[in-house]
A = this chain, B = another copy of it.
Amino acid sequence: MDPSTIPAPGSSERTRVRRISEKAVEDRGVVEAILDAGLVAHVGIVEESGQPYVVPVAYAREGDRLLFHGSTGSRLFRRLAEGAPTCVTVTLLDGLVLARSAFESSMNYRGVMALGTCTVLDGDERDDALRLISDHLLPGRWGDIRPPSRKEIAATLVLALPLDEVSAKVSDKMPEDDPQDVDRPVWGGVVPLRESFGEPVADERGSAYPVPAYLGSWTR
């Protein structure tokens, strides 16, 4: 029951895993694979008062930075644009670990936490970022849809967070019950959690067109 222990990881003192070091992963490839597999990130934003907010966003990874966007009308996103420190966390839940003791019961997960300060993208960089965020959610879609107009782009705040101070934690294990608990007469093991696309539901406005091939049968 300890996804509560995802905190931390490590490329800097303040992100170093302090408690359950066996779960920390410093491999850059693992960090990138987790970011590339997620659909939503949770962004931490602190108001002047010290009150934090945690906001879900669509995002994409472009090399060594994370891209996401919000409305120019959002006071929270304006805080980020002004250089407020942030934390962006991506969590993939992979399964329930059903141990024979409450204490060892937990979840398998992969998580990335990135700390830093965002920069506001403009011009071609901004336009590219919008395409990359679309490509991240559904590769192939961008070529089919009307790109954003100047007016639409002007209403969109596009931010980039450098992946300098970043780390991952991965828990992929069977229950770690103490020997005296293992013989308890109850099933122990892991129940995987799966995410997948359901049956597409067509918009009745407009003419009927076939479901695009790039929808495929995504599953994780």
A182 to B145, CA, bound (A): 10
Residues of A contacting B: mostly? mixed
Residues from chain B with a CB closer than 8 A to the CB of A46 are 46, 50, 52
Given A99-B145, A113-B54, A187-B202: A7 and B195 interface contact (C-beta under 8 Å): no
User: Which of A98, A100, A184, A193 counts the most chain B CB atoms within 10 A?
Assistant: A98
Question: How many copies are assembled?
Answer: 2
The number of residues on chain A lying at the interface, defined by a beta carbon within 8 Å of a beta carbon of chain B, is 106
With A56-B91, A194-B198 already in contact, 15 other A-B pairs whose C-beta atoms are closer than 8 Å: A2-B71, A3-B58, A50-B85, A53-B113, A54-B54, A54-B87, A54-B89, A105-B134, A146-B181, A182-B206, A187-B200, A189-B202, A191-B198, A192-B201, A194-B195
CB-based closest 5 A-B pairs = A192-B198, A44-B52, A54-B89, A4-B70, A42-B42
